[in-house]
A and B are shown apart, each in its own frame.
Chain A
Amino acid sequence: MATEVKKAEKPWQEMTPDEKLQRRIDAWLAAPGINFVSAQAEADYKARINNYLDAITLRKMPHHVPVMPNLGSFAQHHYGYTEKDMMYDPDKMSDASMRATLEFQIDMQIGTSTTLNGRVADILDYKQYNWPGHGVPDDGEFQFIDDEYLKADEYDAFMRDPTDFWQRVILPRTVGALEPFKRLSIPTYRMPNAGDYGKPEVQAALKKLMEAGEVAVRFQQKSATTSKKLKELGYPAIEGGTSSVPFDFLGDALRGTREISFDMFRRPEKLMDVLEWATPLMIKRGLDSARMGSAPIVGFALHKGSDPYMSEKHFQTFYWGPWRKVMEAFIQEGLIIRGGCQGFHNKRLETYRTMPKGKVYWNIGYGTDIARAKELLGGIACISGGITAGILHQGAPEEVAGHCRQVIDIAAKGGGYIFATSNIDRNAKIENVKAMIKTVKEYGVYS
């Protein structure tokens, strides 16, 4: 049965970072609001969480390598659904998540919700994306359209008042239904500009927002209900907070890849000013999203800091410097960082190694050498990954099993390793997925 979180012995601000982390862990384990179906389910739930924490904090040798492959996309297809179904139909999304979690029985819930809600994107007319039914086939993943959404000469206005700039410039530019927001007036700071909200086009925009809001809430409720059921069956959700590296915040969806590359050469001082300005925003974003009672983790999807994207000098100056400040703030607040290393990060490992022991967990992607990652990060940081995506598509089960054992031999020694993967897509063969899970469960037990 659910337990209440114990009252803290001292105020939060007086706790050390480690005390804060322990408090977050206790709150997560207490499973607020969860009524486990059985004592076994509760034991499984807590064992899975503790095993995971042993691995990521390096506090002790885990019982086994946490089995956490990313099966969201694979699961949809396995149950006869498409990506479009996951984006538009909360019942189908929920069904895939429930069935996959119970069929594959790994160390966490298998989540099938997508970052982009298709119905919300339709209602609001998102201009920054292509998604199933909108430039992408039903089975395709949504794609972000890299472009210049914030111009270089708009930096100052953006920094002066980001909320106003967002509402009256960026949103009208990027969200079709909210184009009328550019007709809202500057606040007088005495009373609302009521006349703005009588304009028919502004009312139409607000109606669209309300309609999208209802859809989003319906999805969230369905997702939360399913997640709760799965927790009660013993499967934790490894959900935590999220944030962005200041350079990615600016470069991904505001300046675009080309323009931020130009900024590094044409206006490096201005770029540095904006990155320093963005740093506290990224801290706030992570802290606000890392709720007490869920995993004490803040995740970063790492985009533009990978090896081919920038020189070591540019990386240290523009990417790592501001990002490190964000991470240090999270560590102070009792959080662990997860770095999702998309692409090639071989040259970054020496830098990653300078983070404090047991405070960062690095998802090693396809382009980074797992053996080198273990060599440089072993004993300092937990790592995951090392599996080649292609083998699940084209290999045979025995090859898959051999490959998984090889990766475990390299990466799991001494603990500090999680068997997590990047997204396994719908074209992976079911017999290979099963062989992968079976092998890791059997071979990944620490004697």
Chain B
Amino acid sequence: MGKELVAAISEIREDDALRMVQEAVDKGENLDSILTDCQAAMNIVGERYEKGDYFLPELIMSGEMLKKISDLVKPKLGAAATAGGAKKKGKVVLGTVRGDIHDIGKDIVGFMLDVNGFDVHDLGVDVPEDKFVEAVKTDKPQVVALSGFLTLAYDSMKSTVDALDKAGLRKGVKVMIGGGQITEMVKDYVKADAFGMDAVAAVRLAKQWTA
């Protein structure tokens, strides 16, 4: 089933993909490989997105399929199941900054990081600075990912990075930013380590920083 499932997911054939997974569950087959297949499929989706063949709707559909497959499979595998089965590559604290409620891009970054082997703690939207600080203190992530679409997000991103600095946590993490009108100038203003234009860039940065 492996290759067929990878093809169904990466070709955004939702009915086929879910049917295959349901059949495997019903037949009591070994489900460990399904999450690995998801990862392989998402890598293909990511490549097609970078090439310019896939766009936001394909990413949103992929995320939806992953969620549905996860819902079918994870309860059977138990709490120890993780995407890819292997040790997590690293931890990421993710959120849309204070004053901004845009979430679609953030959610795509979240599931792309998750399926690529990262442990993602998504704080949601309109996240105040102190909540980011608390999450970094508790989770001890390698990466903090700040999302924001409105121009007011620049100042919230800046104050979040300042808050991490004041708490003595800035040096211990790498900060990436993304969302709307983010440029090199904004990255410097915010004092982030890097910015990315999309979820694929976020995964690349996270992998570089945890290699």
Task: Name A's B-contacting residues (CB within 8 A).
Answer: 130, 135-137, 139-141, 143, 145-146, 257-258, 261-262, 264-266, 307-311, 314, 366-367, 388-391, 393-394, 425, 427
Q: Report the minimal beta-carbon distance from A390 to chain B, rounded to whole angstroms.
A: 5
Contacts of B150 in A (CB 8 A): 141, 143
Across the two chains, which residue of chain B brings its CB closest to A73?
B151
Partner of B152, one of A261, A264, A311, A425: A425
**Complex Cα spacing A172 to B201, Å:** 42
B72 at the A/B interface (Cβ < 8 Å)? Answer: no
Is A137 touching B99 in the complex (CB atoms < 8 A)?
A: yes
* Selected contact of B57 from candidates A307, A309, A366, A389, CB within 8 Å: A309
A–B Cβ pairs within 8 angstroms, 5 of them: A265-B57, A265-B61, A388-B183, A390-B189, A425-B152
> Which one, B34-42, B48-56, B73-81, is touching chain A?
B48-56
The docked-state distance in angstroms from the alpha carbon of A143 to that of B99 is 9
For chain B, residues 50 to 89, give those with C-beta under 8 angstroms from any C-beta of chain A: 53-58, 60-61, 64
* Contact for A261 among B57, B181, B183, B185, CB less than 8 A: B57
Task: Let me know if A394 and B189 touch, CB within 8 A.
Answer: yes
Known: A140-B99, A145-B101. A366 touches B56 (CB 8 A): no
Q: Is B129 an interface residue (CB 8 A)?
A: no
Q: Assess whether B126 is interfacial by the CB under 8 Å rule.
A: yes
Query: A396 CB to closest chain B CB, in angstroms?
Result: 13
The answer to whether A366 touches B181, judged by C-beta atoms less than 8 angstroms apart, is: yes
By the criterion CB–CB under 8 Å, are A266 and B14 in contact?
A: yes
The answer to whether B55 touches A390, judged by C-beta atoms less than 8 angstroms apart, is no
In the complex, are the beta carbons of A310 and B104 less than 8 A apart? no
Residues in A neighbouring B14, C-beta threshold 8 A: 265-266
A426's closest neighbor in chain B, by CB?
Answer: B152
Q: How far is the CA of A258 from the CA of B58 in the complex (A)?
A: 11
Would A258 and B155 count as touching, CB distance under 8 A?
A: no
* A262 adjacent to B61 (CB under 8 Å): yes
When distances are taken between beta carbons in the complex, the residues of chain B under 8 Å from A310 are: 55-57
Q: Which residues of A contact B101 (CB under 8 A)?
A: 130, 135, 143, 145
Q: Which residues of A contact B24 (CB under 8 A)?
A: none
The complex places the Cα of A163 from the Cα of B171 at a distance, in Å, of 58
How far is B182's CA from A16's CA once the two chains are assembled, in angstroms?
46
* Nearest CB on A from B138, distance (A): 25
- Report, nearest first, the 8 A-B pairs whose CB atoms are least far apart: A261-B57, A261-B60, A390-B185, A309-B56, A366-B181, A143-B101, A140-B99, A311-B55
How far does the alpha carbon of A400 sit from the alpha carbon of B70 in the complex, in Å? Answer: 51
Minimum CB–CB distance for B159 against chain A, Å: 12
CB distance from A338 to the nearest CB of B (A): 21
List residues of chain B with CB within 8 A of the CB of A135: 101, 126
For the complex, give the distance between the alpha carbons of A367 and B183 in Å: 11
A139 / chain B contacts, CB cutoff of 8 Å: 152
- B61 partner residues in chain A, CB cutoff 8 A: 261-262, 265
Residues of B within 8 A of A145 (CB): 101
Query: Bound complex: CA of A135 vs CA of B58, how far in Å?
Result: 31
A40 shortest CB reach to chain B, Å: 38
Least CB distance from B93 to A in Å reads 22
Known A-B contacts A136-B99, A390-B186; A425 and B57 likewise in contact (beta carbons under 8 Å): no
Q: Is the CB of A308 within 8 A of B198?
A: yes
With A266-B14, A389-B181 as known contacts, state yes or no: A261 contacts B56, CB within 8 Å.
yes
* With known contacts A145-B101, A394-B189, A140–B152 Cβ distance under 8 A: yes
A366-B183 Cα distance, complex, nearest whole Å: 11
Answer whether residue B32 sits at the interface, using C-beta atoms and an 8 A cutoff: no
Give a binary string over B176-201; 1 marks a CB under 8 Å from any A CB, 0 the rest. 00000101011001000000001000
Inter-chain CA distance A369–B70, complex, in Å, is: 41
The reply to whether the CB of B12 lies closer than 8 angstroms to some CB of chain A is: yes
Q: Which residues of chain A are within 8 angstroms of B54 by Cβ–Cβ distance?
A: 311
- Cross-chain contact of B60 among A258, A314, A394 (Cβ < 8 A): A258
Q: How far is the CA of A308 from the CA of B198 in the complex (A)?
A: 10
Asked if B122 is an interface residue, CB under 8 A from chain A, the answer is: no
Q: In the complex, what residues of B have CB within 8 A of residue A257's CB? A: 60, 104
Contact of B100 with A by CB under 8 A: yes
Q: Closest Cβ of chain A: how far from B114's Cβ, in Å?
A: 18
Q: Give the residues in chain B near A391, CB-CB below 8 Å.
A: 185
Contact A264 B57 (CB under 8 A): yes
A58 to chain B, nearest CB (A): 29
Contacting residue for A141 out of B57, B152, B186, CB 8 A: B152
* Chain B contacts with A in 151-178, Cβ cutoff 8 A: 151-152, 154-155
B198 (CB) vs chain A CBs: closest residue: A308
Knowing A143-B100, A262-B61, A311-B54 touch, does A390 contact B183 (C-beta < 8 A)?
A: yes
**Distance (whole angstroms) from the CB of B150 to the closest CB of chain A:** 6
Q: Are the CB atoms of B64 and A262 closer together than 8 Å?
A: yes
